[in-house]
Protein backbone atom coordinates (compact mmCIF):
# COMPACT_ATOMS: atom_id res chain seq x y z
CA UNK A 1 0.00 0.00 0.00
CA UNK A 2 1.18 3.50 -0.84
CA UNK A 3 1.34 5.87 2.10
CA UNK A 4 0.06 9.19 0.87
CA UNK A 5 1.20 12.45 2.43
CA UNK A 6 -2.09 14.13 1.55
CA UNK A 7 -5.68 13.06 1.37
CA UNK A 8 -7.58 15.02 -1.22
CA UNK A 9 -11.35 14.55 -1.25
CA UNK A 10 -13.24 15.16 -4.46
CA UNK A 11 -15.38 17.82 -2.78
CA UNK A 12 -15.55 19.13 0.78
CA UNK A 13 -18.77 20.98 1.54
CA UNK A 14 -18.00 21.40 5.24
CA UNK A 15 -15.40 24.05 4.37
CA UNK A 16 -18.07 26.36 2.98
CA UNK A 17 -20.75 25.52 5.53
CA UNK A 18 -18.87 25.71 8.82
CA UNK A 19 -18.15 29.47 8.76
CA UNK A 20 -21.80 30.32 7.99
CA UNK A 21 -23.50 27.58 9.98
CA UNK A 22 -24.88 29.96 12.63
CA UNK A 23 -26.39 32.22 9.95
CA UNK A 24 -27.96 29.23 8.23
CA UNK A 25 -29.46 28.03 11.52
CA UNK A 26 -30.88 31.50 12.16
CA UNK A 27 -32.39 31.59 8.67
CA UNK A 28 -33.97 28.15 9.12
CA UNK A 29 -35.35 29.14 12.52
CA UNK A 30 -36.95 32.24 11.01
CA UNK A 31 -38.82 30.11 8.44
CA UNK A 32 -39.94 27.69 11.15
CA UNK A 33 -41.12 30.64 13.21
CA UNK A 34 -43.13 32.09 10.32
CA UNK A 35 -44.35 28.72 9.10
CA UNK A 36 -44.41 29.84 5.46
CA UNK A 37 -42.86 26.61 4.20
CA UNK A 38 -44.42 26.73 0.73
CA UNK A 39 -43.96 29.78 -1.54
CA UNK A 40 -42.85 31.81 1.48
CA UNK A 41 -41.13 35.13 1.98
CA UNK A 42 -37.50 33.97 1.62
CA UNK A 43 -38.33 32.09 -1.57
CA UNK A 44 -39.56 35.29 -3.20
CA UNK A 45 -36.56 37.23 -1.90
CA UNK A 46 -34.07 34.62 -3.05
CA UNK A 47 -35.70 34.36 -6.49
CA UNK A 48 -35.25 38.10 -6.99
CA UNK A 49 -31.70 38.12 -5.63
CA UNK A 50 -30.49 35.20 -7.74
CA UNK A 51 -32.10 36.61 -10.89
CA UNK A 52 -30.53 40.02 -10.30
CA UNK A 53 -27.09 38.51 -9.65
CA UNK A 54 -27.41 36.63 -12.97
CA UNK A 55 -28.38 39.76 -14.91
CA UNK A 56 -32.05 38.95 -15.57
CA UNK A 57 -35.40 40.13 -14.25
CA UNK A 58 -37.18 37.08 -12.87
CA UNK A 59 -36.38 33.90 -10.98
CA UNK A 60 -38.82 31.08 -10.32
CA UNK A 61 -37.73 28.49 -7.77
CA UNK A 62 -38.57 24.89 -8.62
CA UNK A 63 -37.90 21.48 -7.12
CA UNK A 64 -34.83 20.62 -9.24
CA UNK A 65 -32.70 21.66 -12.18
CA UNK A 66 -34.42 18.98 -14.23
CA UNK A 67 -37.82 20.54 -13.57
CA UNK A 68 -36.41 23.97 -14.42
CA UNK A 69 -35.51 22.58 -17.87
CA UNK A 70 -38.79 20.72 -18.42
CA UNK A 71 -41.12 23.46 -17.18
CA UNK A 72 -38.93 26.22 -18.64
CA UNK A 73 -38.99 24.75 -22.15
CA UNK A 74 -42.77 24.38 -21.96
CA UNK A 75 -43.08 27.98 -20.81
CA UNK A 76 -40.91 29.10 -23.75
CA UNK A 77 -43.51 27.59 -26.06
CA UNK A 78 -41.85 24.29 -26.90
CA UNK A 79 -44.54 21.83 -27.92
CA UNK A 80 -44.78 18.06 -28.39
CA UNK A 81 -43.20 17.17 -31.71
CA UNK A 82 -40.72 20.05 -31.61
CA UNK A 83 -37.06 19.18 -31.91
CA UNK A 84 -34.53 20.59 -29.46
CA UNK A 85 -30.75 20.48 -30.00
CA UNK A 86 -28.80 19.13 -27.00
CA UNK A 87 -25.17 18.07 -26.54
CA UNK A 88 -24.55 14.32 -26.43
CA UNK A 89 -22.06 14.73 -23.57
CA UNK A 90 -24.11 16.20 -20.77
CA UNK A 91 -25.66 14.94 -17.58
CA UNK A 92 -28.71 12.93 -18.60
CA UNK A 93 -31.07 15.47 -16.99
CA UNK A 94 -30.65 17.82 -19.96
CA UNK A 95 -32.05 15.18 -22.32
CA UNK A 96 -34.63 14.07 -19.76
CA UNK A 97 -35.88 17.63 -19.30
CA UNK A 98 -36.42 18.02 -23.04
CA UNK A 99 -38.38 14.75 -23.15
CA UNK A 100 -40.43 15.74 -20.09
CA UNK A 101 -41.34 18.95 -21.91
CA UNK A 102 -42.80 16.69 -24.61
CA UNK A 103 -40.17 17.54 -27.22
CA UNK A 104 -37.65 15.38 -29.07
CA UNK A 105 -33.99 15.79 -28.14
CA UNK A 106 -31.67 15.92 -31.14
CA UNK A 107 -28.17 15.14 -29.94
CA UNK A 108 -25.10 16.98 -31.18
CA UNK A 109 -21.40 16.16 -30.79
CA UNK A 110 -18.97 18.40 -28.93
CA UNK A 111 -15.71 20.22 -29.43
CA UNK A 112 -13.03 17.87 -28.06
CA UNK A 113 -10.96 20.69 -26.51
CA UNK A 114 -13.70 22.44 -24.53
CA UNK A 115 -16.24 19.57 -24.34
CA UNK A 116 -18.90 22.19 -25.23
CA UNK A 117 -21.54 21.69 -27.93
CA UNK A 118 -20.15 22.10 -31.46
CA UNK A 119 -22.36 24.71 -33.13
CA UNK A 120 -21.19 23.79 -36.65
CA UNK A 121 -22.48 20.29 -36.09
CA UNK A 122 -25.63 21.67 -34.44
CA UNK A 123 -26.36 23.62 -37.65
CA UNK A 124 -26.23 20.36 -39.62
CA UNK A 125 -28.77 18.72 -37.30
CA UNK A 126 -31.45 21.37 -37.89
CA UNK A 127 -34.71 20.31 -39.55
CA UNK A 128 -37.97 22.21 -40.11
CA UNK A 129 -39.11 20.88 -36.70
CA UNK A 130 -36.16 22.34 -34.77
CA UNK A 131 -37.35 25.02 -32.37
CA UNK A 132 -34.65 25.45 -29.76
CA UNK A 133 -31.11 24.76 -28.66
CA UNK A 134 -30.18 23.87 -25.08
CA UNK A 135 -26.50 24.74 -24.76
CA UNK A 136 -25.00 23.26 -21.59
CA UNK A 137 -22.43 25.45 -19.86
CA UNK A 138 -20.55 22.30 -18.98
CA UNK A 139 -18.14 22.08 -16.02
CA UNK A 140 -18.71 25.80 -15.30
CA UNK A 141 -17.65 27.22 -18.65
CA UNK A 142 -20.17 29.02 -20.82
CA UNK A 143 -20.71 28.21 -24.46
CA UNK A 144 -19.67 31.41 -26.30
CA UNK A 145 -22.68 33.79 -26.02
CA UNK A 146 -21.78 35.61 -29.24
CA UNK A 147 -21.54 32.38 -31.19
CA UNK A 148 -24.81 31.18 -29.65
CA UNK A 149 -26.70 34.39 -30.43
CA UNK A 150 -25.43 34.39 -34.04
CA UNK A 151 -26.39 30.74 -34.40
CA UNK A 152 -29.87 31.21 -32.95
CA UNK A 153 -30.54 34.30 -35.02
CA UNK A 154 -29.39 32.65 -38.25
CA UNK A 155 -31.63 29.63 -37.68
CA UNK A 156 -34.55 31.30 -35.85
CA UNK A 157 -34.15 29.17 -32.75
CA UNK A 158 -34.86 29.79 -29.08
CA UNK A 159 -31.85 29.56 -26.77
CA UNK A 160 -32.62 27.86 -23.46
CA UNK A 161 -29.46 27.61 -21.35
CA UNK A 162 -28.71 24.66 -19.12
CA UNK A 163 -26.67 26.54 -16.54
CA UNK A 164 -26.92 23.85 -13.86
CA UNK A 165 -23.12 23.81 -13.54
CA UNK A 166 -22.44 27.49 -14.14
CA UNK A 167 -23.86 29.78 -11.42
CA UNK A 168 -22.48 33.27 -12.07
CA UNK A 169 -20.14 32.10 -14.82
CA UNK A 170 -19.29 34.84 -17.31
CA UNK A 171 -18.14 35.08 -20.90
CA UNK A 172 -17.99 37.95 -23.37
CA UNK A 173 -19.76 40.22 -20.88
CA UNK A 174 -22.73 37.88 -20.32
CA UNK A 175 -23.72 36.10 -17.12
CA UNK A 176 -24.70 32.45 -17.43
CA UNK A 177 -28.45 32.37 -17.84
CA UNK A 178 -28.75 35.83 -19.40
CA UNK A 179 -28.01 34.89 -23.01
CA UNK A 180 -31.15 33.08 -24.09
CA UNK A 181 -34.88 33.35 -23.60
CA UNK A 182 -34.57 31.52 -20.29
CA UNK A 183 -32.19 29.30 -18.33
CA UNK A 184 -32.21 26.48 -15.82
CA UNK A 185 -30.08 26.18 -12.67
CA UNK A 186 -29.69 23.32 -10.23
CA UNK A 187 -29.07 23.73 -6.50
CA UNK A 188 -28.12 20.09 -5.96
CA UNK A 189 -25.90 20.16 -2.82
CA UNK A 190 -22.52 19.88 -4.59
CA UNK A 191 -23.29 22.53 -7.21
CA UNK A 192 -21.43 25.87 -6.99
CA UNK A 193 -24.50 27.14 -5.15
CA UNK A 194 -26.01 24.14 -3.41
CA UNK A 195 -29.03 23.61 -1.16
CA UNK A 196 -29.36 21.08 1.66
CA UNK A 197 -31.35 18.85 -0.67
CA UNK A 198 -32.75 19.25 -4.16
CA UNK A 199 -33.67 22.54 -5.75
CA UNK A 200 -33.59 24.48 -8.98
CA UNK A 201 -34.51 27.75 -10.62
CA UNK A 202 -35.75 29.03 -13.92
CA UNK A 203 -34.51 32.52 -14.73
CA UNK A 204 -35.64 34.81 -17.53
CA UNK A 205 -36.26 38.45 -18.39
CA UNK A 206 -39.51 37.51 -20.13
CA UNK A 207 -42.42 38.17 -17.78
CA UNK A 208 -44.75 35.75 -19.55
CA UNK A 209 -42.25 32.90 -19.36
CA UNK A 210 -41.71 33.57 -15.64
CA UNK A 211 -45.45 33.68 -14.99
CA UNK A 212 -46.06 30.47 -16.89
CA UNK A 213 -43.41 28.61 -14.86
CA UNK A 214 -44.95 29.99 -11.65
CA UNK A 215 -48.21 28.43 -12.81
CA UNK A 216 -46.71 25.16 -14.04
CA UNK A 217 -44.77 24.54 -10.79
CA UNK A 218 -47.91 25.10 -8.72
CA UNK A 219 -50.30 22.41 -10.08
CA UNK A 220 -50.90 24.53 -13.17
CA UNK A 221 -52.82 27.03 -11.05
CA UNK A 222 -52.39 30.78 -11.66
CA UNK A 223 -54.64 31.27 -8.61
CA UNK A 224 -55.71 28.94 -5.86
CA UNK A 225 -57.87 25.99 -6.98
CA UNK A 226 -58.12 27.31 -10.53
CA UNK A 227 -56.10 25.13 -12.94
CA UNK A 228 -55.38 26.40 -16.43
CA UNK A 229 -52.69 23.77 -17.18
CA UNK A 230 -51.95 20.25 -15.96
CA UNK A 231 -48.65 21.43 -14.43
CA UNK A 232 -47.01 19.68 -11.50
CA UNK A 233 -46.01 20.13 -7.89
CA UNK A 234 -42.49 21.53 -8.18
CA UNK A 235 -41.80 24.41 -5.83
CA UNK A 236 -38.46 25.26 -4.27
CA UNK A 237 -39.02 24.85 -0.50
CA UNK A 238 -38.86 28.07 1.48
CA UNK A 239 -36.39 26.34 3.83
CA UNK A 240 -34.03 25.58 0.93
CA UNK A 241 -34.40 29.14 -0.34
CA UNK A 242 -33.51 30.45 3.12
CA UNK A 243 -30.30 28.40 3.11
CA UNK A 244 -29.46 29.45 -0.45
CA UNK A 245 -30.11 33.09 0.44
CA UNK A 246 -27.47 32.91 3.18
CA UNK A 247 -25.01 31.29 0.76
CA UNK A 248 -25.58 33.56 -2.27
CA UNK A 249 -23.42 36.50 -1.06
CA UNK A 250 -20.44 34.12 -0.85
CA UNK A 251 -20.88 32.64 -4.32
CA UNK A 252 -18.60 35.04 -6.24
CA UNK A 253 -15.83 34.53 -3.71
CA UNK A 254 -16.25 30.72 -3.87
CA UNK A 255 -16.21 30.88 -7.66
CA UNK A 256 -13.01 32.93 -7.55
CA UNK A 257 -11.39 30.30 -5.35
CA UNK A 258 -12.46 27.62 -7.83
CA UNK A 259 -11.04 29.66 -10.71
CA UNK A 260 -7.74 30.16 -8.86
CA UNK A 261 -7.57 26.42 -8.19
CA UNK A 262 -8.24 25.83 -11.90
CA UNK A 263 -5.37 28.12 -12.83
CA UNK A 264 -2.99 26.31 -10.46
CA UNK A 265 -3.98 22.99 -12.04
CA UNK A 266 -3.62 24.42 -15.59
CA UNK A 267 -0.16 25.78 -14.80
CA UNK A 268 1.03 22.63 -13.09
CA UNK A 269 -0.28 20.29 -15.76
CA UNK A 270 1.41 22.09 -18.66
CA UNK A 271 4.36 19.71 -18.54
CA UNK A 272 1.97 16.75 -18.63
CA UNK A 273 0.74 17.54 -22.11
CA UNK A 274 3.52 15.63 -23.87
CA UNK A 275 2.54 12.64 -21.70
CA UNK A 276 -0.99 12.74 -23.04
CA UNK A 277 -2.57 14.45 -20.01
CA UNK A 278 -4.48 17.53 -21.15
CA UNK A 279 -6.88 19.77 -19.25
CA UNK A 280 -10.18 20.68 -20.89
CA UNK A 281 -9.54 24.14 -22.38
CA UNK A 282 -10.52 27.23 -20.48
CA UNK A 283 -11.56 29.77 -23.12
CA UNK A 284 -13.28 32.11 -20.70
CA UNK A 285 -10.43 32.91 -18.28
CA UNK A 286 -11.77 34.37 -15.00
CA UNK A 287 -15.35 33.72 -16.14
CA UNK A 288 -14.95 29.94 -15.80
CA UNK A 289 -16.44 28.90 -12.45
CA UNK A 290 -15.00 25.38 -12.48
CA UNK A 291 -17.89 23.37 -11.17
CA UNK A 292 -15.55 20.57 -12.20
CA UNK A 293 -11.89 20.49 -13.20
CA UNK A 294 -11.61 17.92 -15.95
CA UNK A 295 -8.57 16.46 -17.70
CA UNK A 296 -8.25 14.05 -20.61
CA UNK A 297 -6.02 11.02 -20.46
CA UNK A 298 -5.34 10.60 -24.18
CA UNK A 299 -4.33 7.47 -26.13
CA UNK A 300 -0.68 8.57 -25.96
CA UNK A 301 -0.61 8.37 -22.13
CA UNK A 302 1.14 5.37 -20.59
CA UNK A 303 -1.93 4.44 -18.50
CA UNK A 304 -5.61 4.33 -19.37
CA UNK A 305 -8.07 6.71 -17.67
CA UNK A 306 -9.29 3.95 -15.37
CA UNK A 307 -5.74 3.06 -14.43
CA UNK A 308 -4.96 6.70 -13.69
CA UNK A 309 -8.04 6.88 -11.50
CA UNK A 310 -6.90 3.79 -9.57
CA UNK A 311 -3.36 5.18 -9.31
CA UNK A 312 -4.63 8.42 -7.78
CA UNK A 313 -7.05 6.58 -5.46
CA UNK A 314 -4.13 4.59 -4.03
CA UNK A 315 -2.49 7.92 -3.22
CA UNK A 316 -5.48 9.31 -1.36
CA UNK A 317 -6.83 11.37 -4.26
CA UNK A 318 -10.54 11.05 -5.04
CA UNK A 319 -11.67 11.67 -8.59
CA UNK A 320 -14.87 11.39 -10.63
CA UNK A 321 -15.98 10.85 -14.23
CA UNK A 322 -18.48 13.32 -15.69
CA UNK A 323 -19.82 11.38 -17.48
CA UNK A 324 -18.78 7.80 -18.28
CA UNK A 325 -21.53 7.05 -20.84
CA UNK A 326 -22.75 9.56 -23.43
CA UNK A 327 -26.50 10.19 -23.46
CA UNK A 328 -27.10 8.40 -26.77
CA UNK A 329 -25.68 5.14 -25.42
CA UNK A 330 -27.75 5.08 -22.22
CA UNK A 331 -30.08 2.05 -22.27
CA UNK A 332 -33.18 4.09 -21.39
CA UNK A 333 -32.70 6.33 -24.42
CA UNK A 334 -32.37 3.62 -27.07
CA UNK A 335 -35.63 4.70 -28.62
CA UNK A 336 -34.02 7.96 -29.72
CA UNK A 337 -32.44 5.76 -32.38
CA UNK A 338 -28.75 6.57 -31.98
CA UNK A 339 -25.89 4.11 -31.97
CA UNK A 340 -22.21 3.76 -31.15
CA UNK A 341 -20.19 5.89 -33.54
CA UNK A 342 -22.80 8.62 -33.95
CA UNK A 343 -20.96 11.14 -31.76
CA UNK A 344 -17.27 10.21 -31.88
CA UNK A 345 -15.94 13.18 -29.89
CA UNK A 346 -18.40 12.63 -27.05
CA UNK A 347 -17.69 8.89 -27.06
CA UNK A 348 -13.92 9.41 -26.91
CA UNK A 349 -14.26 12.01 -24.16
CA UNK A 350 -16.32 9.62 -22.06
CA UNK A 351 -13.43 7.15 -22.19
CA UNK A 352 -10.73 9.73 -21.47
CA UNK A 353 -12.08 12.29 -19.03
CA UNK A 354 -11.26 12.43 -15.34
CA UNK A 355 -12.50 15.07 -12.90
CA UNK A 356 -9.89 16.08 -10.31
CA UNK A 357 -10.66 17.37 -6.79
CA UNK A 358 -12.22 20.84 -7.01
CA UNK A 359 -14.00 22.91 -4.39
CA UNK A 360 -13.60 26.32 -2.78
CA UNK A 361 -10.96 25.91 -0.11
CA UNK A 362 -8.88 23.20 -1.78
CA UNK A 363 -5.31 24.18 -0.89
CA UNK A 364 -2.36 24.85 -3.17
CA UNK A 365 -0.58 21.98 -1.36
CA UNK A 366 -3.39 19.57 -2.15
CA UNK A 367 -3.43 20.59 -5.82
CA UNK A 368 0.37 20.33 -5.98
CA UNK A 369 0.14 16.82 -4.54
CA UNK A 370 -2.35 15.84 -7.26
CA UNK A 371 -0.14 17.35 -9.98
CA UNK A 372 2.97 15.61 -8.58
CA UNK A 373 1.23 12.26 -8.61
CA UNK A 374 0.05 12.78 -12.18
CA UNK A 375 3.62 13.66 -13.20
CA UNK A 376 4.70 10.18 -12.12
CA UNK A 377 2.54 8.62 -14.82
C1 LIG B 1 -25.81 19.85 -16.78
C2 LIG B 1 -26.91 19.52 -15.82
N3 LIG B 1 -28.19 19.67 -16.21
C4 LIG B 1 -29.20 19.40 -15.39
C5 LIG B 1 -29.00 18.95 -14.11
C6 LIG B 1 -30.18 18.59 -13.29
O7 LIG B 1 -30.26 19.21 -12.07
P8 LIG B 1 -31.00 18.48 -10.84
O9 LIG B 1 -30.12 17.38 -10.37
O10 LIG B 1 -31.15 19.58 -9.84
O11 LIG B 1 -32.30 17.98 -11.35
C12 LIG B 1 -27.67 18.79 -13.64
C13 LIG B 1 -27.34 18.38 -12.27
O14 LIG B 1 -27.65 17.47 -11.67
C15 LIG B 1 -26.60 19.06 -14.53
O16 LIG B 1 -25.35 18.90 -14.15
- Structural domains of the chain ordered from first start: 15-108+116-250 (3.40.640.10), 251-375 (3.90.1150.10)
Give the residue among 157, 160, 164, 178 at the shortest CA–CA distance from 93: 164
Q: Which atom of ligand 1 is nearest to the CA of 191?
A: 13
Whether 355 is in the pocket of ligand 1, judged by its Cβ within 6 Å, is no
pLDDT tens, residue order, the chain (377 aa): 565 667 899 999 999 999 999 999 999 999 999 999 999 999 999 999 999 999 999 999 999 999 999 999 999 999 999 999 999 999 999 999 999 999 999 999 999 999 999 999 999 999 999 999 999 999 999 999 999 999 999 999 999 999 999 999 999 999 999 999 999 999 999 999 999 999 999 999 999 999 999 999 999 999 999 999 999 999 999 999 999 999 999 999 999 999 999 999 999 999 877 899 999 999 999 999 999 999 999 999 999 999 999 999 999 999 999 999 999 999 999 999 999 999 999 999 999 999 999 999 999 999 999 999 999 99
Q: Whose CA is nearest to atom 12 of ligand 1?
A: 164
231 in ligand 1 pocket by Cβ < 6 Å? no
Query: What's the CA-to-centroid distance between 227 and ligand 1, angstroms?
Result: 28
| Residue 35 burial by Cβ neighbours in a 10 Å radius (0-12, 13-18, 19+) | exposed
Ligand 1 centroid, distance to 302 Cα (angstroms): 34
Residue nearest to atom 8 of ligand 1 (CA): 65
What is the rounded distance in angstroms from the CA atom of residue 87 to the CA atom of residue 202? 20
Tens digits of residue pLDDT in 65-87: 999 999 999 999 999 999 999 99
Q: What is the pLDDT at residue 2? A: 62
90 lines ligand 1 (CB under 6 A): yes
126-162 tens-digit pLDDT: 999 999 999 999 999 999 999 999 999 999 999 999 9
Question: Which pLDDT tens digit goes with each residue over 23-61?
Answer: 999 999 999 999 999 999 999 999 999 999 999 999 999
C-alpha angle 324/326/327, rounded to 5°?
Answer: 130
Distance, in Å, from the CA atom of 373 to the CA atom of 377, rounded to the nearest integer, reads 7
Q: What is the DSSP string of 327-364?
A: GGGSGGGGGG---TTSSHHHHHHHHHEEEEP--TT--H
What is the side-by-side order of every strand in the sheet holding 353-356? 277-279, 293-297, 353-356
Best of 62, 64, 65, 100 for a ligand 1 pocket test (most atoms within 8 Å of beta carbon): 65
Ligand 1 centroid to residue 303 C-alpha, Å: 31
Amino acid sequence: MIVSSQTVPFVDLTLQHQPIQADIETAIAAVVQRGDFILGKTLKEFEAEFAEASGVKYGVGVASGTDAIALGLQACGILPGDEVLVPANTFIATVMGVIQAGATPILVDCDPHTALIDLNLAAKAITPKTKAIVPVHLYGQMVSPRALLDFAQAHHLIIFEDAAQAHLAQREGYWAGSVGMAAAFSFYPSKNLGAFGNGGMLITSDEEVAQRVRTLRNYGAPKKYYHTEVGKNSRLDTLQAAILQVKLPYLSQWNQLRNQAGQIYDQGLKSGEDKGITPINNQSQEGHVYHLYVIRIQETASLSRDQVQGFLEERGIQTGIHYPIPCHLQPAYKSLGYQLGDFPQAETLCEQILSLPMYPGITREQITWVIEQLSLI
